[in-house]
Amino acid sequence: MAVINASSEDVRTLARLMRAEAEGEGELGMLMVGNVGVNRVLANCLDFVDIRSIPRMVYQTPGGFEATQKGYFYQRARERDIALAQRVINGERFHPATNSLWFFRPGGACPVQWYNQYNSGRYKVHCFFSPTLSNCPSVY
């Protein structure tokens, strides 16, 4: 059962984001990006107050995703991308993105904190950062 509301167009939009942000990191990397997206829709805290839909989350500015802001959010969603997006919409979570609201690709090691949020781990080239339970209980 879905943990957030999503139309078929919303699922395709999330799938496009997952592909644009992490296609080079394989299916697991794409699923983790999807986790971050779903968490942002669930969160009603920090930078994500009133972000209650996939389109608002994907196109959020400022504070949104590099893919939509720097021009590489142009590829269509393939059937496998759509299936991956549906999995995270249905509530599957993958460590270290389980409760993360942010990720980025550093030039070196992952910092312990990023904008006052703690590093929850790294997968390939991306570092993931999660708020504390007290700062954002809706993603836990």
Q: Name the residue ranges covered by the structural domains of the chain.
A: 8-139
Q: Is the preceding omega at residue 111 within 30 degrees of 0, hence cis?
A: no
DSSP string across 66-108 = HHHHTT---SPPPHHHHHHHHHHHTT---TTSTT-SEEE--SS
pLDDT, mean of residues 14-33: 97
Residues whose CB falls within 8 Å of the CB of residue 48, separated by 6 or more in sequence, listed in order: 40, 41, 57, 60, 63, 101
**Predicted local confidence at residue 40, as pLDDT:** 98
CA 134, CA 106: separation in Å to the nearest integer? 27
Residue 2 near residue 13 (C-beta atoms within 8 A) = no
> Which of 82, 93, 97 is CA-nearest to residue 129?
97
pLDDT digits (tens, 9 = 90+) for 64-103: 899 998 888 899 999 999 999 999 999 999 999 999 999 9
88, two tokens = 């995270």
Q: Which amino acid does the sequence have at 48?
A: F
pLDDT, mean of residues 104-117: 94
CA 99, CA 96: separation in Å to the nearest integer? 8
63, pLDDT greater than 90: no
CA 57, CA 29: separation in Å to the nearest integer? 19
62, pLDDT greater than 90: no
**Predicted local confidence at residue 18, as pLDDT:** 98
| Average pLDDT over all residues of the chain | 96
CATH class label, 8-139: mainly alpha
pLDDT, mean of residues 44-59: 96
pLDDT digits (tens, 9 = 90+) for 94-110: 999 999 999 999 999 99
